[in-house]
């Protein structure tokens, strides 16, 4: 290019209106999603959340940027992810499970936090109250108090002579321990003897099942990210020990557990999308009441029942939301 032409172009650019020169692509709001377990464990839940966000106009890479991280049930990993999102200055941090929410809350008191699932948000100090959360945290609670007895009653229909129940629980999870206490209270009402199989890491799971041999007649699986991440191995061990299992999440039944009864988790994650939408549009978490489940699902695995030599009553099959054969 000749020097005269270059000077002409440079002079012309200098005379452009300032807004044209300074125009930059708008920075997309950022959502940081922290998966407490593994992606495969909550794939359906996550799809429901992303779908709802899309319906509300928040489309990844177009109107919003969504980052994903996975803690694989490890508390330190949860803390590391939360700290990373704080450094990234995400606009909303979305997670699930009491331990993950607590890690997020400890990392920031400024960035809004939405939990799709949490055990007892008031009792664990995540929020001040359900109608007025206060602070920077809100979402959906899945307190199990009124469903623990229901689960044991369902299990009793399949295993009528049940007397001794083991509870597989993450010893480091406040929500799981709370659920265990609720199960113990319900079991006492039904005349069942219970004992805990506490785990803190993956390596504790096989010894826990060894400890249950000859003692347990069935196993209640408490909600816990570490347990969820190891659901396939847990079901293999339960099948080997010929122990019926009952749990809250249907993903365990997909992996071979006998029966689950609990909230419809994809629906909870979908509703979490509404919280995110309101916050991105200016609402404060402190003013958004914590909500609770409205839909519960009963899922039965007939293949597992047959392998265990158990007959599922027709009355129970008639009310099941899904039967896996």
Nearest Cα neighbor of 139 from 296, 9, 304, 274 is 274
Task: Give tens-digit pLDDT for 83-136.
Answer: 999 999 999 999 999 999 999 999 999 999 999 999 889 988 999 999 999 999
- The continuous run of DSSP H or E covering 55 comes out as helix 43-55
Where the chain has pLDDT below 70, the residues are 1-25, 143-146
Cβ neighbours of residue 198 closer than 8 Å, sequence gap 6 or more: 169, 170, 171, 204, 208
pLDDT at position 145 is: 55
- The domains of the chain, with CATH numbers, are 30-142+264-296 (3.40.50.2300), 148-263+297-324 (3.40.50.2300)
Q: For tokens 């930059």, what's the residue?
A: 24
Nearest Cα neighbor of 262 from 190, 189, 183, 194 is 183
What the block records as the tokens of 19 is 């807004």
Rg (CA), the chain: 24
SS3 109: coil
What the block records as the tokens of 292 is 């609770």
């Amino acid at each position: 290019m000749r020097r005269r032409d270059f000077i002409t172009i440079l002079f012309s650019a200098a005379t452009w209106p300032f807004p044209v020169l300074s125009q930059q692509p708008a920075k997309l709001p950022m959502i940081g999603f922290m998966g407490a377990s593994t992606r495969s464990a909550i794939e359906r839940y996550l799809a429901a959340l992303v779908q709802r966000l899309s319906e509300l106009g928040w489309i990844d890479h177009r109107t919003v940027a969504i980052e994903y991280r996975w803690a694989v049930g490890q508390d330190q990993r949860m803390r590391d992810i939360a700290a990373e999102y704080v450094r990234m200055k995400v606009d909303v941090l979305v997670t699930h499970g009491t331990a993950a929410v607590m890690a997020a809350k400890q990392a920031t008191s400024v960035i809004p936090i939405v939990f799709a699932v949490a055990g007892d948000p008031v009792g664990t100090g995540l929020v001040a109250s359900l109608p007025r959360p206060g602070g920077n945290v809100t979402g959906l609670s899945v307190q199990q108090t009124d469903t623990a007895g229901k689960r044991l009653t369902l299990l009793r229909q399949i295993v009528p002579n049940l007397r001794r129940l083991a509870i597989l629980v993450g010893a480091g999870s406040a929500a799981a321990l709370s659920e265990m206490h609720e199960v113990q209270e319900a079991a006492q009402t039904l005349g069942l003897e219970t004992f805990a199989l506490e785990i803190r890491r993956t390596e504790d799971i096989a010894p826990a099942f060894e400890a249950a041999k000859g003692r347990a007649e069935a196993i209640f699986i408490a909600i816990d990210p570490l347990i969820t991440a190891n659901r396939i191995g847990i079901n293999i061990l339960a099948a080997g020990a010929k122990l019926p299992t009952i749990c809250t999440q249907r993903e365990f039944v997909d992996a071979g557990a006998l029966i689950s009864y609990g909230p419809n988790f994809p629906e909870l994650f979908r509703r979490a999308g509404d919280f995110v939408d309101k916050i991105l549009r200016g609402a404060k978490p402190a003013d958004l009441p914590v909500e609770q489940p409205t839909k519960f699902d009963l899922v039965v695995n007939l293949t597992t029942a047959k392998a265990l030599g158990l007959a599922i009553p027709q009355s129970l099959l008639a009310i099941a939301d899904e039967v896996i054969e």
